[in-house]
Amino acid sequence: MRYLIDFVETKNIKESKLFDHLKCCEQEAKILQNMTIKYLEGTLEVVVLEILTSIFGNKDYAHIKNLNFIKNLLDQGWITHGTFANIKASDVLNLELLNSTIALSSPFLKLLEEGSLDIELPETTPYTDHLEYLKDQFLRIDMYQKLSLSKQNLAGDSVNISRLKAKLQLLESRIAARLDSSKTDIIVEKIFEEHELSQKEQIIFLALLKEEYAGEFESLRDMNTLIGLISSDDYEKIQNRSLLEEGSKLIEEEIIDYDEMLNGFGGVSRSFFISEEILQKIMHPNKDKKVKKIKLDMLVKEQELFELIEPKTTLDDVVLAPKTRELLNSLLKQTDRKVMKLLREWGVKERRGGIDAKIIFYGPPGTGKTMSALSLAKSMKKRVLSFDCSKILSKYVGESEQNVRKIFDTFKELSQKTKSEPVLLLNEADQFLSSRLAHSSSSGDKMHNQMQNIFLEQIERFNGVLIATTNMLDSIDPAFSRRFDFKIKFENPNFEQRVELWQRLLPESAVYEENFSIKKLAQYKLSGGQIKLVLKNCALRVALKEEPIFCMSDFIAEIEREKSGMFGEEKSMGFVTI
């Protein structure tokens, strides 16, 4: 307690061993000295009026003229006030402080006891391994957390922000110096260089990495918490949210990922984590990876079987019946890491990795089956390998069966080589799923049955997410129906859904005639695909006018043409999406 004794006994306060640490003026130091003496006498809180009068007197209102010293000490974090505990000192008037109570803060008491608030920083020596480096970086994240909490704390007892920033700057300088003198390769720094991460992106990454090593799952994974680490005010928080949203470098380059979960308020919250591949690279830096990840785009270009699709829409972009949306949302919730972990623990799910689901989307053409499949994949953060099943039939006997195997063999090969799990989309799968012909003796029917048997076998062995679309469910063979986990019906939209479709699809920048009525258009019972096709043809008709104004008569004419089958080849919409 030598610092405490020295502080209270030194007559010239500027000669005290603690004075330089206080970074305050002589008068402010005298206030602290007086309060410390009272603290030792058992007085925890003092009235501002009394402490100022005892030091400066009240002649010519000297005690009032020196109220600003109290406010400065509050701002510096050396004292706290009880009356305005939840208000920033800068927002309190000097006169409001006069009759309030103040007390010594915890940081000041620590200074009295230890003689310094400085943290123990590592020596400026080269790093010998990545664990030494991570120890320093995790200490750095701790300091960012303290700084973030200090900014949120409105009370005057928060640790002085400027002092904490200075310590953080010193620590970061020492980390940089140790890196400069190190000959050991630090894998985390290589990741930063490879992806050209900014300082803010690096802090987010290191905070999530600290969570992985600490075994904590809540404190640093929330978006608001992560953004708070790198933001100085609310405006910066709004700006920095883009670092953790879709399209950001951290997400797009698969450096980090997130789970979406329903919170207690009915909204969706995100919990972020470092991607498995990056995490393994850091935790096992010396492990030799014999198989390199190959880009899926490159391999797909080398074959003609699949089309690679990068989904652009989410389920929010699709107009669906409430029951259909409920089923899709239920399916999507199975991607939650905690859910999958429980399923593995219960033995329901054996394979590690993503969701396993075999799904049939069935319903009339133009009802959004294909768009929903792509949107579901987008929500799962997966790409899509699409195959048009109408191409499977071959005039040569035996080739259709081989082509069925080729679909699944090629898909498996692409997934393994790229270490990815795209969604397999089988469009127009009617011929695969239709009932087999039990008593037919024709070679064509036998070949068709054989093809279906092979397809059934491949479905049974399939791991991952498979979506098959079909127009009819009534004719599906029961053997196929049993092997699909979800059979989701897509219906033609009702009146309310047709209103929503027209509202979404009609161009906002277009000019419409007076009394133009979307509800009148919605009275016509069209599918989503038909609405899109009508709008396309109507837009062409209007664009050719001298005055390009959308009129009800234009839409009605195109609707009548569609309903009477006057679109010729365009009438065959198949799986037109909306």
83 and 49 fall within a common domain: yes
**How far from 504 is each of 384, 497, 498, 550, 554, CA to CA, in Å?**
25, 11, 10, 16, 19
324 and 472 fall within a common domain: yes
Specify if 176 maps to a domain: yes
Q: Where are the beta strands (DSSP E) in 86-175?
A: 101-104
Mean pLDDT in residue range 40-65: 91
146 and 220 fall within a common domain: yes
Strand partners, 271: 222, 259
pLDDT digits (tens, 9 = 90+) for 317-369: 888 888 888 888 888 777 666 666 676 677 666 555 567 789 999 888 888 89
CB of 362 closer than 8 Å to CB of 490: yes
**How far from 499 is each of 10, 321, 366, 540, 559, CA to CA, in Å?**
82, 13, 16, 22, 15
Other Cβ atoms less than 10 A from the Cβ of 502: the count is: 21
377 and 450 fall within a common domain: yes
The pLDDT assigned to 402 comes to 79
Domain end, chosen from 55, 82, 114, is at 114
Please state, in angstroms and rounded to a whole number, the distance separating the CA atoms of residues 103 and 169. 30
The pLDDT assigned to 320 comes to 87
353 and 443 fall within a common domain: yes
Task: Tell me the Cα Rg of the chain.
Answer: 34
Look at the chain and report how many structural domains it folds into: 4
In the chain, what are the helix, strand and coil shares in percent, each to the nearest 5? 55, 10, 35
Per-residue buried b or exposed e for 257-269, using 16+ beta carbons within 10 Å of the residue's own CB: bbbeeeeeeeeeb
- Tokens 């985390």 belong to 188
Specify if 523 maps to a domain: yes
Whether this model's pTM surpasses 0.85: no
Specify if 122 maps to a domain: no
**How far from 373 is each of 195, 369, 404, CA to CA, in Å?**
31, 6, 21
- What is the percent of the chain with per-residue pLDDT over 90, rounded to a whole number? 32
- Flag whether pLDDT at 33 surpasses 90: yes
The CATH number given to whatever domain includes residue 68 is: 1.10.10
Residue 156 identity (one-letter amino acid) = G
Strand partners, 102: 46, 81
550 and 474 fall within a common domain: no
- Flag whether pLDDT at 567 surpasses 50: no
Check residue 527 and report its DSSP letter.
-
Q: How confident is the model at residue 396 (pLDDT cuts 50, 70, 90)?
A: very low
The pLDDT assigned to 426 comes to 92
Domain end, chosen from 226, 248, 283, is at 283
List the one residue out of 570, 279, 303 whose CA is nearest residue 417: 303
Q: How confident is the model at residue 157 (pLDDT cuts 50, 70, 90)?
A: very low
| 31 three-state secondary structure | helix
List the one residue out of 211, 214, 215, 213 whose CA is nearest residue 226: 211
Please state, in angstroms and rounded to a whole number, the distance separating the CA atoms of residues 434 and 449. 10
Domain that holds residue 466: 296-489
pLDDT digits (tens, 9 = 90+) for 248-283: 889 888 899 887 665 555 556 778 889 888 888 888
Q: How confident is the model at residue 380 (pLDDT cuts 50, 70, 90)?
A: confident
The CATH number given to whatever domain includes residue 501 is: 1.10.8.60
Q: Which two tokens stand for residue 484?
A: 């699909």
Sheet holding 101-104, edge to edge: 46-47, 101-104, 79-81
209 and 165 fall within a common domain: yes
- What is the percent of the chain with per-residue pLDDT over 70, rounded to a whole number? 81
431 and 535 fall within a common domain: no
Specify if 578 maps to a domain: no
Q: How confident is the model at residue 289 (pLDDT cuts 50, 70, 90)?
A: very low
> What angle do the packed helices 199-214 and 130-152 form, to 10 degrees?
110
**How far from 40 is each of 35, 104, 193, CA to CA, in Å?**
9, 11, 55
pLDDT digits (tens, 9 = 90+) for 90-140: 667 878 888 888 999 888 888 898 887 665 555 578 888 888 899 999 999
